[in-house]
Amino acid sequence: MNIIIQKFGGTSVATKELREKVAKKVILSKQEGKIPVVVVSAIGRSGDPYATDTLIGLANHAFKEQSSRELDMIMACGEIISAVIMANTIKATGYDAVALTGFQAGIITDEYHGDAEVTRVDCEPILSLLKEGKIPVVTGFQGATLTGDITTLGRGGSDTTAALLGEALEADVVEIYTDVDGVMTADPRLVPEAKVIDTICYDEIYQMAEDGAKVVHPRAVEIARRGNITLKIKNTFSDAPGTIINGKIGSKGNSYRSGNEGDLLTAIAHKNGITQFTVFFNGDSVEESERFMNELTDNHISIDLINFFTDRKVFTVEEKNVEKLEQILNKLEYKFQVAKDCSKITAIGHKIRGVPGVMARIVKALAGQGVKILQSSDSHTTISCLVSRKDMEKAVNALHQEFNLSR
């Protein structure tokens, strides 16, 4: 059917003028013979009246304690408002559009409020509208249980909605519109010389998303990879070609950035708000390790940069889990040390697999800027270093320059 999913983030629909730009892009795709399905996030960002964080703040101010079910209900309001206003904006141009909640669009989830898993997508409601020539405008970030309770899909869930609809509807492409020209070699706010990446594969963009790049949600990448769907990251405010994400190696030979064959790295990602824990153990008891790991699992605490030794376990957690983890460790009567205000810097590149000397170059580049590596880990496509938050910007720029990513 030549279906195209077009997802627009909160900054893309923040004002009347921007929503009119969005409508023009949607209508243009229809005029080109495509069949658009629109997905929208809540309007604006924290502080704006209908942004998700604003709604959460409103609920928290009103009640100290509330159920996750009711919190999902108020969080879902932001996208509903956005969908209605966006549908009416499109209608004003002479094209028929219909606003749909996640449930009305056929998105069914489990009952885990706040971070629900989608169990199935019923395509019939959207397909019926498309056959009538209408443009569905779907609320991102949400679905509902079989019993009708509203659920949300976790932060960044609008990207997930777009990818899920793309898979279910067998769309030709899923376009993710944001406020940058595409996926970049580093955060341009930190590295002015950062460049747009023309083409990138699923594995690398997934690593970038997991390690701090906020241009697309990692869950959306997983879904796109599963369904072999092409993603495009584009700028709402320009006609830049953007970045193509698919399973192919790249647009020019083995290069991920056209014209730069031979590059080892694709990008440098960073993530702030990281805390390092060192937990001390008396010996390497299997039972004790299992007890410790089970406590983390039961409390939904994910750990990263994991280095386990006979007498200690060193790992990192996100800032939101620090207090909970400290309570667990005190309850278990473990001795531990904490290093707060850290950042994780990750060098990403499919070509580094099996190439000697990459870590040596990273160590040298960071040392040259006086950046101390607190911990490191690597995989086939990544090398991550934990550094102090105050050194984060120096570290990102040093690695970007060392591997010539601005060429």
**Residue 10 annotated as binding site:** yes
Amino acid at site 254: N
Cα separation, 93 vs 20, in Å, equals 9
Place of tokens 């706010």: 189
**Residue 178 annotated as binding site:** yes
Cα separation, 235 vs 11, in Å, equals 11
**Residue 52 annotated as binding site:** yes
Cα separation, 203 vs 65, in Å, equals 40
Q: Is the separation of the CB atoms in 99 and 82 below 8 Å?
A: no
**Residue 271 annotated as binding site:** no
Six-digit token string for 247: 């399973």
**Residue 234 annotated as binding site:** no
**Residue 221 annotated as binding site:** no
**Residue 182 annotated as binding site:** no
Q: Is the separation of the CB atoms in 130 and 168 below 8 Å?
A: no
Q: What share of the chain is helix, strand, coil (3-state, %, to 5)?
A: 35, 25, 35
Backbone angles phi, psi at 77, to 5 degrees: -60, -35
DSSP code per residue over 286-325: HHHHHHHHHHHHHTT---EEEEE-SSEEEEEEEGGGHHHH
**Residue 115 annotated as binding site:** no
**Residue 179 annotated as binding site:** yes
**Residue 79 annotated as binding site:** yes
Contacts of 287 (CB under 8 A, 6+ apart): none
Q: Which of 181, 200, 213 is nearest to 346 (CA)?
A: 213
Cα separation, 186 vs 334, in Å, equals 39
Q: Which of 191, 232, 190, 187 is nearest to 211 (CA)?
A: 187
Residues that constitute the known binding site for substrate: 52, 79
Residues that constitute the known binding site: 7-10, 52, 79, 178-179, 189, 214-215
Residues that constitute the known binding site for ATP: 7-10, 178-179, 189, 214-215
